[in-house]
Every structure is written in C-alpha cells, then in structure tokens.
C-alpha cells in the first residue's frame, strides 16, 4: 500500500535555484493538494487540483507553480527559491473536497526543504 508518496524527502537549495517536488498517489483520487507546514502556523494550502489537467491557487501560492498532467501525479515547482520557502511540504489526496463528511484526505510523509 503505497498511498501518497513524496520525493525527495530532504533537499537543501541555494537561493535562486529551482526544483520540483513530486507527489504520486495510487488511490485513483481526483483531488490533490500541496501544503506547507511552518512552526506555530499549522498547514497552509499552496495549490490544489480537482482533477487531471486542473489546478487552482490556495492560501499562499506566490513563488510556486504546479502541474497535474496525470491523475496520479501532482508536481510542485519552485522557480527561484528564497529562504522564506524553507519549510516542510506535504502533499495530500482525496476522493472529494477536503473537510467534507465521509471524505478523508491522505497525506504523504513530507519533504523537508531548506533554502540557504
């Protein structure tokens, strides 16, 4: 049972470098999400997708781009990394909109990103 898999698990970037975080789910879920988690702030939504080929902005989208070319994959890109993007990034997927009754979201194990 792979569930939601994130790669890489750890990464250190220099300011201005770019990278892509990959999220893969094998549960045939329509909805996928990217969150960042910072101390004392809980999880904040960066971008989300309600199906293959669709993406939408969340609460904190600036500095990030996403793509959902295949239903099972949701990519998060940082074009020019900044120290403020140092965080733990979580991907999640679910059958329906997060928070609705009988709709459970499943999270990956996270990617710890440090920008120096």
Partner 1 sequence: TQLLEQSPQFLSIQEGENLTVYCNSSSVFSSLQWYRQEPGEGPVLLVTVVTGGEVKKLKRLTFQFGDARKDSSLHITAAQPGDTGLYLCAGAQAVTGNQFYFGTGTSLTVIP
Interface with partner 1 (CB under 8 A): 4, 35, 40-45, 59, 90, 92, 97-102, 104-110
Radius of gyration of the chain (CA): 13
DSSP notation for 14-60: -TT--EEEEEEESS--SEEEEEEE-TTS-EEEEEEESSTT--EE-SS
Q: Which is nearer to partner 1, 108 or 115 (CB)?
A: 108
Please, what is the minimum distance in Å from the beta carbon of residue 80 to partner 1? 27
What is the pairing mode between strands 111-115 and 10-13?
A: parallel
Count the Cβ atoms, other than its own, within 10 Å of residue 7: 12
Please, what is the minimum distance in Å from the beta carbon of residue 20 to partner 1? 19
Please, what is the minimum distance in Å from the beta carbon of residue 54 to partner 1? 16
How is residue 102 written in tokens?
A: 């009988």
Please, what is the minimum distance in Å from the beta carbon of residue 101 to partner 1? 5
Q: Which is nearer to partner 1, 31 or 64 (CB)?
A: 31
Q: Which is nearer to partner 1, 18 or 103 (CB)?
A: 103
């Amino acid at each position: 049972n792979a569930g939601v898999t994130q790669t890489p698990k750890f990464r250190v970037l220099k300011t201005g470098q770019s990278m892509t975080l990959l999220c893969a789910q094998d549960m045939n879920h329509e909805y996928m999400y990217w969150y960042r988690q910072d101390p004392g702030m809980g999880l904040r939504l960066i971008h989300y997708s309600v199906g293959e080929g669709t993406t939408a902005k969340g609460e904190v989208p600036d500095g990030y781009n996403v793509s959902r070319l295949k239903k099972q994959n949701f990519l998060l890109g940082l074009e020019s990394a900044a120290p403020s993007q140092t965080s733990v990034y979580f991907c999640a997927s679910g059958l329906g909109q997060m928070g609705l009754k009988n709709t459970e979201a499943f999270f990956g194990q996270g990617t710890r990103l440090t920008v120096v």
